Chain A
Amino acid sequence: MTSVGMFYPLFIGGLLFASVLIPMILRRQLMVRLYAIASLCLALAMIVTFLQEGVTHLLFAIGATLLIKVFAIPMIMEQMAKRVGASTRLVSKIRPTTTLFLVIGVLVLVSLNSNHLAVFATVQPTYVLFTSISLVLIGFLMMVLRRDIYSEIIGFLTLENGISLFSLVTVGSGSLFVEGGIFSAILVGAVLMTLLSRRICELYGTESTDPLRELTD
């Protein structure tokens, strides 16, 4: 079991690395694939936890993460985007290098403020908590900085990956009923966002969120 545990930092690192890259990518397909890779790393980290702790409830979370986040959501997003002929080139308010500096800034900020998280000292290993909070902030950053609907969806899903990781290290897994509800809500939410994005693309002929500025006071 100890040898399996060696892979844990690798998967958490993979999750963080893929999520750090996502905001810098301006190609839709690559961005969606990176999200799938990040989710795969999350699922693998769950598998390691399951092998080490033997919590059977985790099996459902592992299956749902693989099925929903690694396969279903990326596939649905790509299918919808292709159907409306969405551009593969995405729009960002700032350049990728500036985005990189901002993301690094987020990581440094979380790291410097980790002393405020002393109340979560029992969460081990500590870098997992750092990763989960970083993912939440990276997701936020992406939703604010990017100006296309696909990036906003992926930003939201990255944030949600951070919360899943937080759940994994703090409370493990809830009952099957609740886990099923949460994963269903994530899937339905992602599908609804994708359906709306399709309608927006059909109506405006673009995946940019710039035309969505009509409602003002």
Chain B
Amino acid sequence: MQPIYLFLALLVIASLAYIPIKSEQILRQISLGGAVLYTILAGWLAIPALFAEPQFYSQDWWFLDPFAAFFLVLISFLFLSASIVSYRYIGHEMHERIIQLKQVRLYQLSLPLFILSMTAAVLTNNIGVLWVALEATTLTTTFLVAFYTKDASLEAAWKYILICSTGIALGLLGILMFAFAGNQAGGLDAESIFNLAQLREHATTFLPEIVRWAFVFIFIGIGTKVGFVPMHTWLPDAHSKTPSPISGILSGVLLNVALYTILRFKLVADLSLGNTWWTERFFLVFGVMSIVLPAFMIYIQRNYKRMLAYSSIEHMGLAAFAIGLGPFGVVPAMMHLVGHAIGKSMLFFGSGEILMRYKTTKIEQVRQLLKTSPYTAVLFLLGLLGLLAVPPSALFASEFLMIGYGMQSQWILTLVVLVALTIIFVSMIRHTLTMFYAHDASESDASSHMHKEGWTLTHTVMAAHLLLLVVVGVYFLTIPGIKFMSGIVQSISANL
């Protein structure tokens, strides 16, 4: 099957948001049906490719190697999960008159277009299209960040579009430099200098000085989209202000897609420079910074959605740290991205449930969560433990491998990372337990008037995520699991 069918399906799903019907429920059903269709198509395309031989030298606009297929599976999984959660979330927001029909339409339009742009970014073989797709991820989600048209949402959306667009513009400068390197090396025509596979094939002939400049711009520019410190400032605002299902996708998969892009260019740079350590230093330095700063920000946090957003920065930092450790580190980094995508989206879905009940994202205003919302609370806690790498979570497998490898190659930095992880562990548990057990003696304590919650669609999705987090975690600790992930990263290994 050609990727074009995936794009067409998403365009049709997006256009259905504006069919002339006034029932928001039908709109939600259409959107959910669309997500199911996309997942089937994406699975049909991606799953055979996951086990195929790496296809390095495609001349076409699109290519699908195991690495791209791996990300396509992540995107489709989270799209389906978020669409199921959205079905309940948007229905509730409409019922409570928090949003209107036009906002439902905007949501149903933006979400498939957002997925379309991420899919295109993952499958394209053309670096120009890759840039357009990355920029489109920002443009399609800007109004989802400003969804509630409140003052803070507008502020978040403004920072989001301005900082991310500027970052991606710098990324374009890096992309142009890579194309220029191809142009200067000779052997590539005007069309081929934008072809990723061709760039990879001819990388050894590029001038290393140009490639270094190009990689710096790519790393800083697209690293803004990954959320690396200190380019992260937009992320806590945007991720905390979007509707929770979208926060789940933003944290769970958009950051991964941006990192995917950097890794594609890292391979070209590594081949050109004849070593991997030059690019790995960037991952190491920015990775450690992106773990340490969020540790302190999570410690002082008063907002549970912002806490999760800072945790996303930390996890991207961990993935970068693992990549920076050397070629072997890429395997735990990819495992980490899977675990983070499953775990973080689950927690954002849970945060949506908390928000629906308490109408606030402030930790101090959420009281007696375990008593009023036992299903949400228990699932949230279990998901949090998974995210904090408690075994048998997938994140335990990845962090176990990366710390083990880190102690051999970069023990001082690894110790710094361990201290930061300890701070994060204690802080996140403390904030969560505050929401669980703290109570307010005053009459204004809303929790005392709340009815006990029932099992919802969101809880089913959260439970499925939790189960998957454990199953994947156990699989990653087996020899076949490690072999499978090693096969995935073969597509981006320089083998120098």
Contact of B179 with A170 in the complex, beta carbons under 8 Å: yes
Whether, in the assembled complex, A88 has its beta carbon less than 8 Å from a beta carbon of chain B, the answer is no
Complex interface residues of chain B between 167 and 203 (CB less than 8 A to chain A) = 169, 172-173, 176-177, 179-180, 183-184, 190-191, 193-194
With A171-B180, A185-B135, A196-B161 in contact, do A163 and B146 touch (Cβ < 8 Å)? no
Taking a contact as CB atoms closer than 8 A, the residue among A178, A179, A189, A203 that contacts B151 in the complex is: A203
Within 8 Å CB of A120, what residues of B?
Answer: 180, 210
B143 contact from A172, A181, A192, Cβ within 8 A: A192
Of the candidate stretches A5-13, A17-25, A67-75, A208-216, the one touching chain B is A208-216
Q: Contacts A170-B177, A214-B155, A217-B306 hold; do A178 and B129 have CB atoms under 8 A apart?
A: yes
With contact pairs A156-B162, A189-B161, A200-B158 given, residues A217 and B297 touching in the complex (Cβ less than 8 Å): yes
Closest to B178 in A: A171
Residues from chain B with Cβ under 8 Å of A209 in the complex: 158
Q: Contact between A215 and B156 (Cβ–Cβ < 8 Å)?
A: yes
Interface residues of A in 149-178 (CB under 8 A from B): 149, 152, 156, 159-160, 163, 166-167, 170-175, 177-178
Q: Shortest beta-carbon distance, A85 to chain B, in Å?
A: 18
* CB pair A119 B129 closer than 8 Å: no
On whether the beta carbons of B176 and A185 are closer than 8 Å, the reply is: no
Q: Is A59 an interface residue (CB 8 A)?
A: no
Q: Mark A125-162, 1 if CB is under 8 A from B, else 0.
A: 00000000000100010010000010010001001100
A73 to B33, CA, bound (A): 38
CB pair A182–B161 under 8 Å, yes or no, is no
Is B132 an interface residue when CB atoms closer than 8 A count as contact? yes
B151 touches A149 (CB 8 A): no
B236/A171 in contact, CB under 8 A: no
A149 proximity list for chain B (CB < 8 A): 158
Interface of B, secondary structure class, is helix
Interface flag for B142 (CB, 8 Å): yes
Interface presence of A4 (CB below 8 A): no
A199 within 8 A of B: yes
Q: When A171-B179, A182-B131 are in contact, do A189 and B165 touch as well, CB less than 8 Å? A: yes
Least CB distance from B406 to A in Å reads: 28
Residues of A within 8 A of B184 (CB): 122
Docked-complex contact A199 and B154, CB < 8 angstroms: yes
**Minimum Cβ distance to chain A for residue B202 (Å):** 15
Contacts of A160 in B (CB 8 A): 169
B139 at the interface (CB under 8 A from A): yes
Determine if A177 and B151 form an interchain contact, defined as CB atoms under 8 angstroms apart. Answer: no
* Count: A-B pairs, CB below 8 Å: 124
CB of A108 within 8 Å of the partner chain: no
A77 to B126, CA, bound (A): 32
Question: Which residues in A have their C-beta under 8 angstroms from that of B139?
Answer: 185, 188-189, 192
In the complex, whether B108 has a CB less than 8 A from a CB of chain A is no
B135-148 vs A, CB cutoff 8 Å, 1 = contact: the mask equals: 11011001100100
Contact A192 B142 (CB under 8 A): yes
| Interface size classification for chain B | 35 or more
What residues on B are CB-neighbors of A174 within 8 Å? 128, 179, 190, 194
User: In the complex, what residues of B have CB within 8 A of residue A143's CB?
Assistant: 162, 166
Quick one: closest A residue to B155, CB to CB? A212
Contact B176 A182 (CB under 8 A): no
Chain A nearest Cβ from B294, distance in angstroms: 11
Determine the chain B residues whose CB is within 8 A of the CB of A211 once the complex forms.
Answer: 151, 155
Q: Is the CB of A156 within 8 A of B190?
A: no
The interface bits of chain B over 112-129 (1 if a CB of A lies within 8 angstroms of the residue's CB, else 0) are 000000000000001011
Per-residue 0/1 for B203-236: is the Cβ within 8 Å of any A Cβ (1 yes, 0 no)? 0000101100100000000000000000000001
A84 within 8 A of B: no
Let me know if A156 and B129 touch, CB within 8 A: no
Please give, as numbers and ranges, the residues of chain A lying within 8 Å of B353 by CB-CB distance. Answer: none
Query: Nearest chain-B residue to A55 (Cβ)?
Result: B190
Q: Kindly state whether residue B152 has any CB partner on chain A within 8 Å.
A: yes
* Chain B residue with the shortest CB-CB distance to A149: B158
Across the interface, do B176 and A170 meet the contact criterion of CB distance under 8 Å? yes
A177 with B129: in contact, given A163-B172, A189-B139 (CB under 8 Å)? yes
Q: Are A178 and B194 in contact (CB under 8 A)?
A: yes
CB distance from B296 to the nearest CB of A (A): 10
Partner of A203 from B154, B191, B207 at Cβ < 8 Å:
B154
Does B237 have its Cβ within 8 Å of any Cβ on chain A? yes
Q: State how many angstroms separate the Cβ of A152 from the closest Cβ of chain B.
A: 6
Instruction: List the 5 closest pairs (A to B, CB-CB), nearest first.
Output: A178-B128, A181-B132, A119-B209, A170-B180, A212-B155
User: 23 interchain pairs (CB within 8 A)?
Assistant: A119-B209, A120-B180, A120-B210, A163-B172, A163-B176, A171-B179, A173-B190, A175-B128, A181-B129, A182-B132, A182-B172, A185-B135, A185-B136, A185-B139, A192-B143, A196-B142, A196-B154, A199-B149, A200-B158, A209-B158, A211-B151, A212-B159, A215-B237
